[in-house]
């Protein structure tokens, strides 16, 4: 019985020590659908993004609430939530994927997985940079999406200010769970 108890505590301690899951609840996603040369910027920033990153497998899950995107103009924020993203009906956006060939070291990696926006899921592949700073890991990257791929239509009246392609920038500072 004593040996069994010791084995249980060794396994429990080992799983805690070797846990490779990292987490944040204060990640940042920036959505930029500004038409080049337009006077008005269409940029929303969400600084309350949650993410879990497993350093041992390279798997990553990111979740953002649509209503948490903040814009310069309250009217733009209202249009974003009510007219385009329908955030009352579709309140979340998420990504579930994996860093390819991730070896636990800092560097640039491809990440691929499923991105869900506006209730539509598409496979994407993008580049991310990983930096290690002691007990923290930062995942950052930028990629573009076509709004129509996520059933987000740009009305004719908005085509001068709202691009049909949006640039998404991601920055996640993760810590051990």
**pLDDT tens digits, residue range 87-142?**
999 999 999 999 999 999 999 999 999 999 999 999 999 999 999 988 899 999 99
pTM across the whole model: 0.87
Tell whether the model's pLDDT for residue 16 goes beyond 60: no
pLDDT per position as a tens digit, 34-80: 999 888 899 999 999 999 999 999 999 999 999 999 999 999 999 99
Distance CA 175, CA 137 (A): 7
Residue 142, strand partner residues: 169
pLDDT at 19: 58
- Which carries the bigger pLDDT value, residue 1 or residue 87? 87
Tokens representing 102 are 């991730």
Residue in 51, 20, 88 with CA at minimum distance from that of residue 174: 51
Residue in 158, 175, 161, 174 with CA at minimum distance from that of residue 28: 174
Tell whether the model's pLDDT for residue 6 goes beyond 70: no
Q: How many CB atoms lie within 10 A of CB 160?
A: 11
Tell whether the model's pLDDT for residue 4 goes beyond 50: no
**Cα-flanking dihedrals φ and ψ of residue 76, to 5°?**
-65, -40
Tell whether the model's pLDDT for residue 11 goes beyond 60: no
Tell whether the model's pLDDT for residue 144 goes beyond 80: yes
CA angle 156, 146, 119 (to 5 degrees): 95
Pairing verdict, β 21-34 and 136-146: unpaired
């Amino acid at each position: 019985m004593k040996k069994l108890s010791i084995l249980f505590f060794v396994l429990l301690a080992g799983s805690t020590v070797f846990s490779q899951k990292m987490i944040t609840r204060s990640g940042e996603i920036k959505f930029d659908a500004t038409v080049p040369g337009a006077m008005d910027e269409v940029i929303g920033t969400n600084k309350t993004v949650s993410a879990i990153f497993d350093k041992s497998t390279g798997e990553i899950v990111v979740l953002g609430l649509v209503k948490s995107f903040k814009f310069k103009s309250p009217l733009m924020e209202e249009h974003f939530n009510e007219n385009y993203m329908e955030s009352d009906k579709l309140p979340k956006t998420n990504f579930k994927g994996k860093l390819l060939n991730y070896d636990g070291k800092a560097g640039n990696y491809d990440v691929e997985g499923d991105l869900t926006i506006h209730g539509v899921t598409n496979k994407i592949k993008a580049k991310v940079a990983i930096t290690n700073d002691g007990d923290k890991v930062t995942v950052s990257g930028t990629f573009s999406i076509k709004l129509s791929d996520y059933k987000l239509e740009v009305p004719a009246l908005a085509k001068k200010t709202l691009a049909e392609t949006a640039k998404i920038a991601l920055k996640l500072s993760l810590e051990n769970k």
